[in-house]
């Protein structure tokens, strides 16, 4: 059985979507969800869904091998960043080469990098009068949003769109494609 660990910092809607997608799959399980925010809504979702969830602090993540050791103890096959905002430290990248993926709410290389997440991305798309946006699923390396691209999907942006309507379109792409791409990577 393939084992996924999801990292999330916020509400966890993508985490819930992934958990639900694999719930009936006998070959894949979400072994745990990890978060860097002890007040993240993803913890409530995991409790409701019966998925183990754990909080870790910055020193455990950046200054030690605690998180790496935990993930290795779970026999993790794939780490999925779903709304996780911290930069991944090199010890984690080295321990799981090409086994950490992220989803970004834009068509990279546009609107990526430090500080470009969530509504900031959608507002930048609007401000620059883009006619399309989308999602990028990519491998994680030592730089924000610069890992090899695995998959992209696009949606139109029309002049009447605002950051909220752009976000809704992008979320639909995330929900539709992220679990399927994960499944393909694990097969």
- Enzyme catalytic residues: 104
CA atoms within 13 A on the CB side of 165: 9
**Encoding tokens for residue 58?**
């910055």
| Closest to 92 in 3D by CA, of 116, 70, 74, 115 | 70
**What distance in Å separates the CA atoms of residue 61 and residue 54, rounded to the nearest whole number?**
12
**What distance in Å separates the CA atoms of residue 57 and residue 62, rounded to the nearest whole number?**
9
**∠ CA(26), CA(29), CA(34), 5° rounding?**
175
* Residue written as token pair 């990526």: 112
Q: What is the CA radius of gyration of the chain?
A: 16
């Amino acid at each position: 059985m393939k084992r996924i660990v999801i990292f999330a910092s916020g509400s966890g809607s993508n985490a819930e979507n992934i958990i639900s997608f694999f719930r009936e799959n006998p070959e894949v399980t979400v072994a745990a969800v990890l978060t860097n925010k002890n007040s993240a809504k993803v913890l409530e979702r995991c409790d409701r869904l019966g998925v183990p969830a754990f909080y870790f602090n910055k020193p455990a993540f950046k200054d030690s091998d605690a998180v790496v050791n935990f993930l290795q103890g779970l026999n993790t096959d794939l780490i999925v960043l779903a709304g996780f905002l911290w930069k991944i430290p090199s010890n984690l990248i080295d321990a799981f080469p090409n086994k950490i993926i992220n989803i970004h709410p834009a068509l990279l290389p546009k609107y990526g990098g430090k500080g470009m997440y969530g509504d900031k991305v959608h507002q930048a798309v609007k401000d620059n009068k883009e006619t399309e946006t989308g999602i990028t699923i990519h491998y994680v390396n030592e730089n924000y949003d610069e890992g090899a691209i695995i998959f992209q999907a696009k949606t139109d942006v029309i002049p009447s769109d605002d950051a909220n309507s752009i976000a809704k379109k992008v979320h639909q792409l995330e929900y539709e494609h992220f679990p399927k791409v994960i499944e393909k990577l694990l097969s």
